Amino acid sequence: MPFNKVVLNAKEACSDINDGATLLLGGFGLCGIPENCISELVKKGIKNLTCISNNAGVDDFGLGLLLYKKQIKKMISSYVGENEEFERQMLSGELEVELIPQGTLATRCLASGYGMPAVFTPAGVGTEVASGKEVRNFNGKNYLMEYAFDADFAIVKAWKGDPMGNLVFRATSRNFNPLMAMAGKITIAEVENLVPLGELNPDEIHTPGIYVHRIFQGKHFEKRIEQRTVRTR
Amino acid sequence: MAIDKTGIAKRIAQEVKDASYVNLGIGIPTLVANYIPKDRDVVLQSENGLLGMGPFPYEGEEDADLINAGKQTITTLPGSAFFDSAMSFGMIRAQKVDLTILGAMEVSENGDIANWKVPGKLVKGMGGAMDLVASAKNIIVAMQHCDKAGNSKLLSRCSLPLTGVRCVKKIVTDLAVLEVRDGAFHLLERAPGVSVEEIVSKTAGKLVVPAEVPEMNIT
């Protein structure tokens, strides 16, 4: 079956990710992050990574694990408030950081997956985010030109997937995952449930398998909750 | 007397119109959801990918896959919808969201807002705030009138890096309700028992004070 994209595990999926790679990593906070692949990248010990991800994890989970081992050279994120080690490395200059608006981050992934070199957005006009960027006026309003991402690998986490790489996400763990899945030169998907071909309803697929190159059944998902908030009965 | 965070949230809740889509920022804005009048039908947008945000789950029913933009566990409601982050900011950019309520470190008299960075000290990032303020039809800021050191947060020009320019329409603080237009803060209401003089003394930017300034009605 030429379209069988199933690999054994995170180790095989990440085997050709090397020092200096640029990675798109799905997730919002700790919700919908590719836990298996992050663990594998930590284990591999590769360095000088450029990581594009909305957040940087927390001190002891998610991308925080890669930061702690100083494997990340540059982070491109929108919000990094929950990670002390991140803040320390950034303020000391050890870590290069580019903070960009969340919608810009999402749309630069979308542009990449849609084959568009750039998009125009009003986010950041008149702020330091606009520095060095082309400004265009449409209908009386200013917009910044933002380029599509050009990343070596996209690493995403899905709820369900099939051997052809079709993906279905669950609830708000969808977030950046389908966008980043579209934007990688090589896209790796780790899934909670790898189901047989034909089991996913074509009407309900969020990411068509054409965007996905490798897929595997993830193990031991911790799915840590960052802010557990409840109400009383 | 100055009102507390709950008071600010209660006052802002009065601004939320029936049949509207509303995005609430982190902090005081999140509290607004608790005080929206029961007769108003409001759909809350959470920019991580949900329309129709419900209350926190009951203990034991938390779902790691279901959180809001503040990373808190939440629930859905009948009619809720999930979507990816590009669509989320697409609907914000296309002005489908009627009202944005967010916090601020500083606001200037021309409506500029700063809320994402204190150079050399605190760098949390802008998250979705820059997208929201650049596109929102209506922006209400919820904040304290002064910072912890007692300095006014309502300035002629923001001193901190900007989040957006000329975008804030209204501000509700612990002392006052103000409208931002024509390059000035316009005092609309004062907190119960707070004098106009106190508000004048604690507002560094240009402030227009009408002859009569009613007290906020917070119940």
CATH number, domain containing residue A44: 3.40.1080.10
pLDDT at A2: 65
Q: What does the pLDDT profile of chain B (219 residues) look like in tens digits?
A: 899 999 999 999 999 999 999 999 988 999 999 999 999 999 999 999 999 999 999 999 999 999 999 999 999 999 999 999 999 999 999 999 999 999 999 999 999 999 999 988 878 899 999 999 999 999 999 999 999 999 999 999 999 999 999 999 999 999 999 999 999 999 999 999 999 999 999 999 999 999 999 999 987
Residue A159 covered by a domain: yes
Contact B65 A170 (CB under 8 A): yes
Task: Please list, residue by residue across A130-162, b when 16 or more beta carbons sit within 10 angstroms of its beta carbon and e when fewer do.
Answer: eeeeeeeeeeeeebbebebbebbbbbbbbbbbb
Q: What is the dihedral of CA A200, A202, A207, A208, to 10 degrees?
A: 110
Q: Strand pairing of A141-147 and A167-168?
A: unpaired
pLDDT at A100: 97
pLDDT at A1: 58
Residue B215 covered by a domain: no
Residues in A touching B65 (Cβ below 8 Å) = 31-32, 159, 170-173, 223
- Which residue range is the domain that position A53 belongs to? 10-217
* B47 has catalytic annotation: yes
B89 in contact with chain A, both atoms CB, cutoff 8 A: yes
Structure token pair of residue A177: 């995952």
Q: Strand pairing of A167-168 and A184-194?
A: unpaired
Within 190-209 of B, beta carbons closer than 8 Å to A belong to: none
Residue A139 covered by a domain: yes
Contact B84 A178 (CB under 8 A): yes
Residue A41 covered by a domain: yes
- Of B15, B47, B179, B212, the active-site residue reads B47
Structure token pair of residue A45: 């010990």
Residue A127 covered by a domain: yes
For chain B, what is the domain count? 1
Residue B218 covered by a domain: no
Residue B177 covered by a domain: yes
For every residue of A144-204, DSSP letters joined together read EEEEPP-EEEEEEEEEEE-TT--EE--GGG-TTHHHHHHHEEEEEEEEEEE--TT-S-GGG
Residue B122 covered by a domain: yes
Contact B62 A228 (CB under 8 A): yes
The three-state DSSP-derived secondary structure of B7-21 is HHHHHHHCCCCCCEE
Structure token pair of residue B62: 């938390």
pLDDT at A108: 98
For chain A, what is the domain count? 1
pLDDT at B1: 83
Q: What does the pLDDT profile of chain A (233 residues) look like in tens digits?
A: 568 999 999 999 999 999 999 999 999 999 999 999 999 999 999 999 999 999 999 999 999 999 999 999 999 999 998 788 888 898 889 999 999 999 999 999 999 999 999 999 999 999 999 999 999 999 999 999 999 999 999 999 999 999 999 999 999 999 999 999 999 999 999 999 999 999 999 999 999 999 999 999 999 999 999 999 999 98
Alpha helices (H) along chain A = 10-13, 35-44, 64-68, 84-92, 102-113, 177-183
Rounded (10°) angle between helices B85-93 and A102-113: 110
Q: What is the pLDDT of residues A98-122, one digit of tens each?
A: 999 999 999 999 999 999 999 999 9
ipTM: 0.96
Residues in B touching A97 (Cβ below 8 Å) = 123
Contact A102 B71 (CB under 8 A): no
pLDDT at A233: 87
Residue A167 covered by a domain: yes
What is the distance between the alpha carbons of residues A59 and A185, in angstroms, rounded to a whole number? 29
Residue A40 covered by a domain: yes
Q: Rounded to the nearest 5 degrees, what angle is found at the Cα of B77, between the Cα atoms of A103 and B128?
A: 15
In angstroms, how far is CA B81 from the centroid of its own chain? 23
Residue of B nearest to A174 (CA): B84
What is the distance between the alpha carbons of residues B83 and B87, in angstroms, rounded to a whole number? 6
Residue B214 covered by a domain: no
- CA-closest candidate to residue A96, choices A67, A69, A119: A67
Residues in A touching B90 (Cβ below 8 Å) = 103, 107
- Which residue range is the domain that position B161 belongs to? 5-208
Residues in A touching B48 (Cβ below 8 Å) = 28-29, 31, 172, 175
Residue of B nearest to A111 (CA): B86
What is the distance between the alpha carbons of residues A106 and A87, in angstroms, rounded to a whole number? 23
Q: What is the CATH number of the domain that holds B107?
A: 3.40.1080.10
Size of interface A-B (CB pairs under 8 A): 183
